[in-house]
Amino acid sequence: MNRARLLFASILSVLTLLLVGTLVWRNLTTQPAGEELAAARTPEENILVIAAPALAPWLRAAAEDFNAGGPVQDGVPFEVEIVPMAGLTALGNWDREDHDGLHANQSSEQLNRNGGAGPVLLPAAWIPESSSFVEMANDIFERRQEQSPFQAEGLFLTRSVAASPLAWGFFRSRGIALQENLGKISWDALRTASAAPTGWKELGGDSAWGFFELAIPDPRYSAAGLAAMTAAAGEYYGRSHVSIDDVADPLFQSWFGSILYQVNGAGGLNAYSVEELALFGPAAGDGGLFIESELLRRAQGIKDRWKDPLLIRYPQKPTWFDFPFAIWAGAETSDFQQRAALEFQRFLLSGPQQRKATAFGLRPAAAIPLTAADDSLFLGTQNLGVRFELPVADAAPPLKFEVLNALVLWYDQIAAQ
């Protein structure tokens, strides 16, 4: 997936600098390693893989196929279990050390007696939204234990297993009205729409629609939402590098604030997912910036339920998620777990599973056409505006922690009003 890595080397490559230390890990602790783990191993080993929620539907189906084959390692049968968890949540809680669960000689039972929240385990592998999340996790553990659990080379090399860009998704009737009156969909066009005094009446839409309302995932917890904020700042300044002075500039805050705050008034932000857009329809927003795969998975349901299909458009410089499969090769996991996770990684990268990924709206890591599978969600989507070929994003210098933190703190202030 070298192409996806190049595509991903944009603003998103530094998202992880933002929320470390602000979120709470409540799901993962550890297992004993080495011979002690082998001695305690049950006849059927449970290989835990935590993964970005956007990837979970495909991974669960793949794990079911994998487990059905009766995988065996060293004569011991094992199964893979997929646990969805946002990458920002995982990073923040590893950094906070809510559990003292990062020692190979401490079992989950001991951790529970020491105040852990439940019988939880460190993962054998982690598949976050971004490769930069893996780099940040390595930095966390390097500072704490002088080790990097996720490898950039060698047998347990971290590999991208799929990709998906951020894309604009609007109810078609509203997206068409925006394009006809404001031109190409962009953050600046959406600011104009948000500030329209009479709402849709002057935007060329039905006056019964009320005011324009944008939906983006909550940037305090969602990588997609945070990517949206940083992309907006980049578009406003016309450059990749954004400083803390840029974020604090009253003109920028007024420009972007008219999108985040004035759309619903009184701080009524539409921090919704695609699932909520499909469930609640225009009440959750006229559209927004989401992960492409999630838009494709909900496209048919939105059309059937609301009788208004999606209109999909892409930012001029798309932000990509590359979903890296990172095997936990630190002392906290055994050789058995690591090699079992490697087998699952190879399974996901196999041709059949890469083709199946397209049935969940994901772009394969392998060189496989998006329409190669009969049940690919990309079939017939070009009429929605889906583009099979997208531009490679320019490499961007990393944003500083203070800049990203300022964006979220500012969002907090708007949401609290």
Q: Which residues pair with 144 in a beta bridge?
A: none
Alpha carbon distance 85, 50 (integer Å): 6
DSSP label at 363?
E
Both 130 and 170 in one domain: the answer is: no
Q: What is the 3-state secondary structure (H, E, C) of 139-207?
A: HHHHHHHCCCCCECCCCCECEECEEEEEEEEEEHHHHHHHHHHHCCCCHHHHHHHHCCCCHHHHCCCCH
Q: Does residue 41 belong to any structural domain of this protein? A: yes
Both 138 and 264 in one domain: the answer is: no
Both 154 and 173 in one domain: the answer is: no
* pLDDT for position 400: 52
Q: Is 215 helix (H, G, I), strand (E, B) or coil?
A: strand
Alpha carbon distance 325, 174 (integer Å): 38
* pLDDT for position 84: 93
Domain range for residue 214? 164-320+394-416
CATH number of the domain enclosing 226: 3.40.190.10
Q: Which two tokens stand for residue 374?
A: 């009969």
Residue corresponding to tokens 């907006």: 232
Both 299 and 286 in one domain: the answer is: yes
* pLDDT for position 393: 57
Both 72 and 176 in one domain: the answer is: no
Q: Does residue 303 belong to any structural domain of this protein? A: yes
Q: Is 216 helix (H, G, I), strand (E, B) or coil?
A: coil
Do the beta carbons of residue 231 and residue 316 sit within 8 Å? no
Q: Does residue 361 belong to any structural domain of this protein? A: no
* Alpha-carbon distances of 338 from 125, 162, 365, rounded to whole Å: 8, 21, 22
Mark the ranges of the chain whose per-residue pLDDT is less than 50: 1-43, 99-120, 262-268, 395-398
pLDDT tens per residue across span 289-339: 999 999 999 999 999 999 999 999 999 888 889 999 999 998 888 999 999
Phi, psi (degrees; rounded to nearest 5) at 7: -65, -30
Q: Does residue 152 belong to any structural domain of this protein? A: yes
Q: Does residue 256 belong to any structural domain of this protein? A: yes
Both 14 and 157 in one domain: the answer is: yes
The domain total for the chain is: 2
Both 184 and 291 in one domain: the answer is: yes
Sign of the four-CA dihedral 166, 167, 170, 172: negative
Both 233 and 85 in one domain: the answer is: no
Q: Is 324 helix (H, G, I), strand (E, B) or coil?
A: strand
Q: Does residue 308 belong to any structural domain of this protein? A: yes
Of 59, 61, 79, nearest to 69 by C-alpha is 79
Both 121 and 187 in one domain: the answer is: no
Phi, psi (degrees; rounded to nearest 5) at 326: -110, 115
Q: Does residue 263 belong to any structural domain of this protein? A: yes
Name the amino acid, one letter, at 353.
Answer: Q
Helical spans, DSSP H, in 307-360: 335-348, 351-357
Both 260 and 408 in one domain: the answer is: yes
Both 292 and 328 in one domain: the answer is: no
Q: Does residue 357 belong to any structural domain of this protein? A: no
Question: Sheet of 45-51: strands edge to edge?
Answer: 72-73, 76-84, 45-51, 125-127, 324-327, 159-160
How is 76-143 classified by DSSP, letter by letter?
A: EEEEEEEEE--HHHHHHHHHHTSS----TT--HHHHHHTT-SSS----SEEE-S-HHHHHHHHHHHHH
Residue corresponding to tokens 């996720």: 150
Both 197 and 269 in one domain: the answer is: yes
